[in-house]
Amino acid sequence: MRLPKITSALVLPFVSRPVCLPVLARLWHPRQTGKLAHARTMVELIAARHPDRTVHAVGDAAYLGDHLRGPDRQITWTSRLKITSVLHQLVPPHTDRSGRPRTKGPRLGTPIDLAATATWRRTSVRRYGRIDAVWITEITCLWYGVFHTRTVRMILVRDDEPRTRDGDDRGYGLPLVTTDLTAPAEHPGSPAMPGAGRSKSLSATPVRCSASGSPATGPAGQWNAPSRSGCCV
């Protein structure tokens, strides 16, 4: 048995980095309701409690799946993108031709495919308590297998030198996916930066929360101002 929990990420005046305080929890049993289903339910509870705010949920690859289809537009979801994920272009404009409307555009490929042809830009991000220079590329697309027809952004982060033995052999270091279409790629919907996929947590932002008890890690970028809230599971 495990206890997935949502924590609220806060900036306190007496510490130099954000802290996460538990606000919701669910008891999880193997072979019963999945952790992702619990996570979505808890994030939706927070969104219902704050209907005038957007909730930004951030988690690792364990918090991705078809349970994320059809969430309220008040909620955005950011996570580590699986290397086998197949992305597609947005749905093409509807034509007058008869037949069932298309639900996705042409195939774009996996993160490895897109990294090979991407246009990268140099930028600075705050992670692990320091400012680092990294390379970033992004593309607006569909991840039909998880988010169905909801538009997402794929964000790839790359260091000058690989941070792991096999990391940048794929052409990138950290692959991210987010339904947050407005925030800069340096900090979509999330308090922190790479490490996403290492801590078993989900973070949601308009009240800021997390699910594992440890600070949520998410897309590259600097800590968002308290006006954006989030949760980690």
- pLDDT mean over 137-157: 93
Q: What pLDDT digit, counting tens, does each position of 123-143 carry?
A: 988 877 788 899 999 999 999
By percentage, how much of the chain surpasses pLDDT 70?
73
Of 182, 111, 85, 167, the residue nearest 134 (C-alpha): 167
- Give the pLDDT score at 94: 77
- Residue 216 pLDDT > 60: no
Residue 230 CA to residue 104 CA, distance in Å, equals: 30
Which residue is it, tokens 């509870």?
45
Residue 2 pLDDT level (bands cut at 50, 70, 90) = low
Average pLDDT, the chain: 75
- Site of tokens 């005046």: 13
pLDDT at 23 over 70: yes
pLDDT digits (tens, 9 = 90+) for 67-77: 888 778 889 99
22 has pLDDT over 50? yes
Residue with the bigger pLDDT between 148 and 63: it is 148
pLDDT tens profile 172-205 = 888 999 999 988 887 765 444 333 333 444 555 4
Question: Which residues lie closer than 8 Å to 23 by C-beta, 6 or more apart?
Answer: 5, 6, 7, 8, 46, 207, 209, 231
End-to-end CA distance of the chain: 15
Residue range 154-175: mean pLDDT, rounded: 76
What integer pLDDT is reported at residue 200 of this predicted model?
Answer: 45
What whole-number percentage of the chain has pLDDT above 90?
24
Confidence of residue 109 (pLDDT cuts 50, 70, 90): very high
Per the CB < 8 A criterion, the answer to whether 50 and 75 are in contact is: no
**C-beta atoms surrounding 164 within 10 Å:** 9
Q: What is the pLDDT of residue 15?
A: 81
Residue 81 contacts residue 115 (beta carbons within 8 Å): no
Residues 6 or more apart whose CB falls under 8 angstroms from that of 55 comprise: 43, 46, 47, 74, 75, 76, 204, 205, 206, 207, 229, 230, 231
Query: What are the start-end ranges of the E strands in the chain?
Result: 5-10, 19-25, 55-59, 75-80, 87-88, 107-109, 121-127, 130-142, 151-158, 174-178, 202-205, 209-210, 229-232
